[in-house]
Structures are given as structure tokens and as C-alpha cells.
């Protein structure tokens, strides 16, 4: 044993307690500590059974994910270590009981399954979430889990990665007893009942492994589902292969097969990217200059102004998190419409089995509709979510300044407008902040938190931690036009249009980006969001347009034809009543016409050029945003794109992807584009500087962390 694993005794029971906060990961030292503790108890004749338990808030939450990067970079060698530790546990002569609270995930569940028995408190969760990191279980999880839970459950858990609760784990056979009351006391009673019985080894169980006839359809259905739901991802398919090996090979050979598949995944670009995303989602919460000791404002009651699509969605977000919320509109009809949409959305979730009718009623019960500001004086935070117009927003903030109590947060859901100007309508700009939710607000995980020049540290710190409570990933951004996400989305969609004007088909552009991994192609995305939104903004800002650079033409013309996208049944595509997109020769005609007007001879454009032009436009704008300080780190941009714009997590986000390609290569390609297409492609100075010094965006981030 060592300081990470402590031993103690309770009568005839030896207790091993893992103490590696915050989540008891299997960091170097923990496996050794377990082995040493087992050796001590093996030699102690007074100890007749063992309990393995986690100290603090959880059982073991898995391997130490930080170690994976060290292994693949060659900094650390991966020893055969952990598998043999688990074998040692399984072949141990005295019964070992895992006592689970919190989460037993990944290597944590694998450790528990190598014990002879498992007991858990009712709130515990168990799972094999490795696929979410682009890997598969690597310590025999794919071999032991089907022996305990059956093939179908094991495939589901290993290929999808979602944890299950203790009750279900008990039902399927992973857990042997649910402990009511104190876990350790319950585990001691359970372990005592096993004294003198021969240890039950998971590897020796075979009655749940099924046969070829019963298993074939399970694997076929799982592979189909993985190809659809986890498009282009290698880990879910590898996980299914590994579980299949458990059903076809003797245990030791199955473990070997799992190891091969595990290592293939671990060394892949996909897993490196997904591990970057795992840590990135936690890194974005860390704001230089705003420490953990910054005081926060408790948000126990909230209000939303505007019951349209965004306002209604935001009210649902608060209600879902258990926070009562007032929802204000100016007239009854609009309020009724907003509430009807909320009810419809909730009812759909109940129909899909996401939660019960009772839970729907509770959520609805937390939303109080209103036509006045009555009660606003008692809430801790308000979010304005009305139509995007500066005059209206300023009027509302002036009103809020009068009705809200001092010390309450005033937030705007603006997606484009200047938060400082909005704040200037109040006498308390330090309490004003932007909270840019993405549509549908109750579904999309991203929340851009827009820092105004006066926003206080307390307000920022509150929003960063509130976003987690609201089940969002909050990313702090600066106050520039479009903030981070939409500012980058401009060039992204502009290049998609340019490519069409130059000769690519609408379908080719969308397919290249879809195949790259985006949830949707950029032109289809425009149709979904509504082409008229950008059109109206462009008309409003016509005077500010830079006439010396090329402007895309097609979307404005589509809008002039009344083709706003899916909502009008036609945009880049035409749509049937089920909103299925179809090629439209009318659009071909329009594009031909525009090519003639602009004197462009269409040329063949390959998929690689399409992807490079569109993705590198994100990278170049992202680099500008970074050097201008509107995003704190490159990883913040990655997290924004993955959670708000359908960017594939397995590519790590646009900035990580550029690092993977190599910034020198990206920079040279952008220089080629500049030669061919002009000033819109001037490389961002930061990109040039990093590329010329052989550095990455990740190095930029390291420097930020070092100076924080």
C-alpha cells in the first residue's frame, strides 16, 4: 500500500481504500497500492475477506486519462501492468468485494468486475465510457462484462458508452446487492456472508455468453446503429468486435484481441482528438484572473423576457435544472404560443421516453408565464431573449434596470449585438453579460458567455459554474461582431458559396463537408437556419460592406426569389413535405446566371479543395480571434465548434485539426488561396508566426496556461 491506497481492518474484513482525489483515477501508484494491500492481507490469517472501496466522492472513475497522451507520445511506456493486477485480484484466494458509490467507470468498472462480488449504493453509476474518448475498454472490460451482464447489454454499454444506474446494474447482474444506508457497513455484512466460500471468478462464468445464433443479430444491429449514430468513428465498431471476441474465443485470447483493438484506437488521431475534447471541456471553465475563490451569486430563481423560440427554450433549460423561472411576453397570444411550444417539446420528450409525465409536469410547474414585470424584483438573474434589434434591447434593459433588485444578473441572449451598448442602457453595466444560447436552446450544449468591458468577475464566475448546472458547456468569449462562433461561421459559409459560384455543385460541397464529419453540409445548414436572416442583416449593413472584396451572390438572389430555405420549402434545395432535400434545376439556372454575370468559367473542384477552403477559413478567422483576444485559448474555439456547430469531436475542433495537419502546411495552403482569391485569404499574423516557428495552437494555449 501507499498514500493512494490505504489499508484498514474491521474484524475479519480487510479494507482497501483508494484515495486519489478528485475521482480516484488509476494514476501511477494506485495499481501498485492495490497489489501491496492485497499482499499484506494475504499474509494476514485474521483477514478472511476483502473490500475495495473509494475514498471521497466516488469509486474509481477509470484510468488516468492524462497518462494516455504520455503513452502515445512515447514519454511513458505502457507496461502490461494493469491487466495483471486485475488477474491477481481475480485469482486471489479470499473473496474480494467492490463497494461502489459515485461512478465506477472504465478501468473502475473493470477493476470492480475483477473482484468476486460487487455491491453498490442506489445512486451509484457504472459504465464503460471509453468510446467517448475514442478508445475501447483496455483492461478486459469487453471480456468480463458480457460474462456478467449478457452479450446485448455489454455491447450496448461498450459501444455507446453511456453509464447505467445501480438498479439496472443489479437487474442485469453486474451488481450483486444494492446497499441501503452506509455503504461500508453494508459491504462488510455482505463480505462476511462470503467468508469461507470459494471466490467466484468472472472469467469462469459462461452462461450469459449466448451462442452464434442468438448473438449474430445482436452484433449486426449494434454495428448498424454504430455506423448511423457514430458515423466515421472507429472505437464503437472496435468495441463491438472485442465483445464478439468474448463470445468466440477462450477468455485469455479474447483479452489479447481486446488489447490489439484497444491499442489501435489509442494510437489513432481520433482518440487523441477526443481526449483533447474531454480535457478541453473542463479547461474552458478556467478563466485566468478569476480563481475558485471568486464570490458567486446564487441563482435560485430566474426570469426570461421573450417567449419566442429562444426565450421558450431558455426557460426550459432553467426549468430542467430545477430553477423556477418567470417567462414574460408583451401580449397574451404570443405568451400562449410560447407555452404551447414548450408543452409540445416536453410531450415529445415524454413520448420518446426521455422522462416521465410526472417529470414533465414538474418542469412545466417551474415556468410561470406573465405579461408584467411583477416578481422580477425577487429573481437572481434575468435573460432577455427578444428580437435582435438594438433599440428594443436597450429599452428592455432600461426597464430591467428599474425592476431588478441590486445584485441580480442582467443577461442578454443577443447573438450579434454589442453587449456594451446594451449595458449602457443601465446604471449597472458590471452586472450585465451576454448569454448566447444556440437553437434549440434546450438541446444544444453550447453557451457563449459574452464578457462586456464592465462585466464583473463575480458575474462571469457565476455564469461559468451556472452553465454546468444548466447542462451546458459555457465558453467565455469577447464582445466582437458575431462573438466567436458566428464570426467564424461567416467565412465558413462564404467559402461554401464561392465554391459553388466557381464550379462545384451544391450537393458536392455539402457532401464533402458531411463526409469530413460535419453534422450537415454548410449549404443545407443555411437552408435549415433560414437564408433570410443573413440577407436581412446584409441589407441593413449594406453601407458598411467592403466593396473592394468579393461578396457571395447566390443566397441574396435565392432570398429575392422567396427561397428562404426549409421554412419556405425551397432554398439551396427544394424540400418535400417531410423536409427531405432534393436537387433543384432552378438553382442550377440561377448559379449559371450568376457565373455569367461575374464572368466566371466553372471549373472542376475536388473534395479536398472544398474541405480545405471551408475548414481553413475557420482556422484563419479563429487565429485572428485568438490574437485579438476574443477567445482565451484555441481549445475554447474547438469546444465552441463541436458543441454549437456540429463539428466532429473526433477531429478535435478546427484549431486542433489544423495542428494535426501541421500549421506550416495549413499556412502554405492559405497562402495559395490568397494568391488565387485575394485579400479575404490574407493569413492571420498569429498563424504565420506559429507556422514559421514550427509551433502549434496547442503551444499558444500552453503559454496562456503558464501566464494565467
Binding residues for ligand 3H9 (CB under 6 A)? 22-23, 25, 61-66, 82, 103, 105-107, 110, 129-130, 133, 137-139, 141, 279, 282
C-beta closer to ligand 3H9: residue 138 or 186: 138
- Give how far the C-alpha of residue 272 lies from the chain's centroid of Cα atoms, to the nearest Å: 15
Say if CB 464 and CB 491 are below 8 A apart: no
From the list 3, 67, 130, 458, the catalytic residue is 130
C-beta closer to ligand 3H9: residue 276 or 669: 276
C-beta closer to ligand 3H9: residue 100 or 610: 100
C-beta closer to ligand 3H9: residue 87 or 501: 87
> Looking at the DSSP assignment, which residues form a beta bridge with residue 327?
304, 369
Shortest spacing between CB 218 and ligand 3H9, in angstroms: 22
Strands (E) across 398-462 are located at 409-412, 432-437, 446-450
Active-site residue, 627 included: no
Shortest spacing between CB 242 and ligand 3H9, in angstroms: 11
C-beta closer to ligand 3H9: residue 25 or 191: 25
Active-site residue, 130 included: yes
C-beta closer to ligand 3H9: residue 255 or 367: 255
Burial (0-12, 13-18, 19+ Cβ within 10 Å), 72: middle
Instruction: Look up residue 544 and give its DSSP letter.
Output: G
b/e map 446-471, b = 16+ CB within 10 Å: bbbbbbbebbbbbbbbbbbebbeebe
Strands (E) across 114-191 are located at 117-121, 125-127, 164-165, 177-179
b/e map 173-210, b = 16+ CB within 10 Å: ebbbbebeeebbebbbebbbebeeeebebbbeeeebbb
Shortest spacing between CB 398 and ligand 3H9, in angstroms: 39
Shortest spacing between CB 251 and ligand 3H9, in angstroms: 17
Shortest spacing between CB 18 and ligand 3H9, in angstroms: 13
C-beta closer to ligand 3H9: residue 81 or 308: 81
Question: How far apart are alpha carbons 273 and 278 in whole angstroms?
Answer: 9
From the list 3, 75, 110, 540, the catalytic residue is 110
Q: Which three cell numbers stand for residue 686?
A: 498569429
C-beta closer to ligand 3H9: residue 133 or 386: 133
Q: Which three cell numbers stand for residue 169?
A: 446494474
Shortest spacing between CB 63 and ligand 3H9, in angstroms: 3
Question: How far apart are alpha carbons 425 and 497 in whole angstroms?
Answer: 38
Say if CB 225 and CB 204 are below 8 A apart: no
**DSSP string for residues in 224-239:** HHHHHHTTT-SHHHHH
Say if CB 26 and CB 64 are below 8 A apart: yes
How many CB atoms within 10 Å of residue 219? 18
How many CB atoms within 10 Å of residue 37? 23
Shortest spacing between CB 22 and ligand 3H9, in angstroms: 5
Say if CB 299 and CB 462 are below 8 A apart: yes
Torsion angle of the four alpha carbons 204, 209, 213, 217, in this order, in degrees rounded to the nearest 10: -150
Which residue has cell 410531450? 347
Shortest spacing between CB 158 and ligand 3H9, in angstroms: 10
Residues with catalytic roles: 110, 130
Amino acid at each position: 500500500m501507499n498514500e493512494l491506497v490505504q489499508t484498514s481492518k474491521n474484524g475479519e474484513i480487510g479494507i482497501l481504500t483508494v484515495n486519489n482525489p478528485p475521482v480516484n483515477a488509476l494514476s501511477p501508484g494506485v495499481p501498485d497500492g492495490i497489489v501491496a494491500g492485497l499482499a499484506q492481507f494475504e499474509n494476514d490469517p485474521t483477514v478472511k475477506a476483502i473490500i475495495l472501496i473509494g475514498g471521497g466522492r466516488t469509486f474509481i472513475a477509470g484510468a488516468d486519462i492524462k497518462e494516455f497522451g504520455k503513452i502515445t507520445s512515447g514519454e511513458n511506456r505502457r507496461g502490461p501492468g494493469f491487466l495483471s493486477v486485475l488477474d491477481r485480484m481475480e485469482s486471489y484466494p479470499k473473496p474480494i468485494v467492490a463497494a461502489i458509490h459515485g461512478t465506477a467507470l472504465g478501468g473502475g468498472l473493470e477493476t470492480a468486475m475483477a473482484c468476486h462480488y460487487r455491491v453498490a449504493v442506489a445512486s451509484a453509476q457504472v459504465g464503460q465510457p471509453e468510446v467517448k474518448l475514442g478508445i475501447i475498454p483496455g483492461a478486459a472490460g469487453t471480456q468480463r462484462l458480457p460474462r456478467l451482464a449478457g452479450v446485448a447489454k455489454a455491447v450496448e454499454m461498450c459501444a455507446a458508452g453511456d453509464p447505467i444506474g445501480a438498479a439496472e446494474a443489479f437487474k442485469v447482474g453486474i451488481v450483486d446487492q444494492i446497499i441501503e444506508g452506509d455503504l461500508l457497513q453494508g459491504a462488510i455484512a455482505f463480505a462476511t456472508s462470503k467468508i469461507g466460500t470459494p471466490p467466484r471468478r468472472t472469467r469462469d462464468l459462461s452462461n450469459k455468453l449466448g451462442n452464434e445464433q442468438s448473438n449474430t443479430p445482436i452484433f449486426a444491429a449494434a454495428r448498424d446503429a454504430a455506423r448511423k449514430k457514430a458515423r466515421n468513428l472507429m472505437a464503437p465498431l472496435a468495441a463491438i468486435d472485442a465483445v464478439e471476441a468474448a463470445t468466440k474465443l477462450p477468455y485469455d485470447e479474447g483479452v489479447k484481441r481486446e488489447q490489439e483493438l484497444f491499442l489501435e484506437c489509442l494510437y489513432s488521431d481520433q482518440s487523441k482528438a477526443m481526449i483533447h475534447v474531454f480535457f478541453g471541456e473542463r479547461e474552458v471553465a478556467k478563466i485566468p484572473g478569476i480563481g475558485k475563490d471568486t464570490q458567486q451569486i446564487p441563482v435560485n430563481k430566474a426570469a426570461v423576457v421573450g417567449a419566442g423560440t429562444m426565450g421558450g427554450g431558455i426557460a426550459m433549460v432553467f426549468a430542467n435544472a430545477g430553477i423556477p423561472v418567470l417567462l414574460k411576453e408583451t401580449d397574451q397570444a404570443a405568451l400562449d404560443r410560447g407555452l404551447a411550444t414548450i408543452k409540445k417539446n416536453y410531450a415529445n420528450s415524454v413520448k420518446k421516453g426521455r422522462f416521465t409525465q410526472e417529470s414533465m409536469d414538474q418542469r412545466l410547474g417551474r415556468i410561470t408565464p406573465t405579461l408584467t414585470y411583477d416578481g422580477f424584483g425577487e429573481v437572481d438573474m434575468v435573460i432577455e431573449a427578444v428580437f435582435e434589434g438594438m433599440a428594443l434591447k436597450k429599452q428592455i434593459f432600461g426597464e430591467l434596470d428599474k425592476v431588478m433588485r441590486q445584485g441580480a444578473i442582467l443577461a442578454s441572449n443577443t447573438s450579434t449585438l454589442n453587449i456594451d451598448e446594451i449595458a449602457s442602457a443601465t446604471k449597472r453595466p458590471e452586472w450585465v453579460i451576454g448569454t448566447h444560447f444556440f437553437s434549440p436552446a434546450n438541446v444544444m450544449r453550447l453557451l457563449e458567455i459574452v464578457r462586456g468591458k464592465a462585466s464583473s468577475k463575480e458575474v462571469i464566475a457565476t455564469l461559468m459554474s451556472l452553465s454546468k448546472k444548466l447542462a451546458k458547456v459555457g465558453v467565455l468569449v469577447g464582445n466582437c461582431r458575431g462573438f466567436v462562433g458566428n464570426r467564424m461561421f461567416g467565412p465558413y459559409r462564404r467559402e461554401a458559396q464561392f465554391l459553388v459560384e466557381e464550379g462545384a455543385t451544391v450537393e458536392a460541397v455539402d457532401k464533402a463537408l458531411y463526409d469530413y464529419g460535419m453534422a450537415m453540409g454548410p449549404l443545407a445548414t443555411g437552408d435549415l437556419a433560414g437564408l433570410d436572416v443573413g440577407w436581412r442583416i446584409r441589407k441593413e449593413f449594406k453601407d458598411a460592406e467592403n466593396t473592394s472584396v468579393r461578396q457571395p451572390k447566390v443566397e441574396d438572389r435565392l432570398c429575392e426569389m422567396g427561397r428562404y430555405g426549409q421554412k419556405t420549402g425551397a432554398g439551396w434545395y427544394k424540400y418535400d413535405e417531410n423536409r427531405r432535400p432534393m436537387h433543384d434545376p432552378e438553382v442550377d439556372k440561377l448559379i449559371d446566371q450568376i457565373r455569367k454575370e461575374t464572368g466566371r468559367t466553372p471549373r472542376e473542384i475536388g473534395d479536398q479543395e472544398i474541405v480545405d477552403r471551408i475548414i481553413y477559413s475557420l482556422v484563419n478567422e479563429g487565429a485572428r480571434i485568438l490574437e485579438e483576444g476574443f477567445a482565451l485559448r484555441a481549445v475554447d474555439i474547438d469546444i465552441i465548434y463541436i458543441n454549437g456547430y456540429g463539428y466532429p469531436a473526433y477531429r478535435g475542433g478546427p484549431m486542433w485539426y489544423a495542428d494535426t495537419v501541421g500549421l506550416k502546411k495549413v499556412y502554405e495552403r492559405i497562402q495559395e488561396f490568397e494568391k488565387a482569391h485575394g485579400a479575404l485569404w490574407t493569413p492571420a499574423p498569429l498563424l504565420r508566426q506559429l507556422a514559421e516557428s514550427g509551433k502549434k495552437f496547442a503551444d499558444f494555449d500552453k503559454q496562456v496556461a503558464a501566464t494565467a
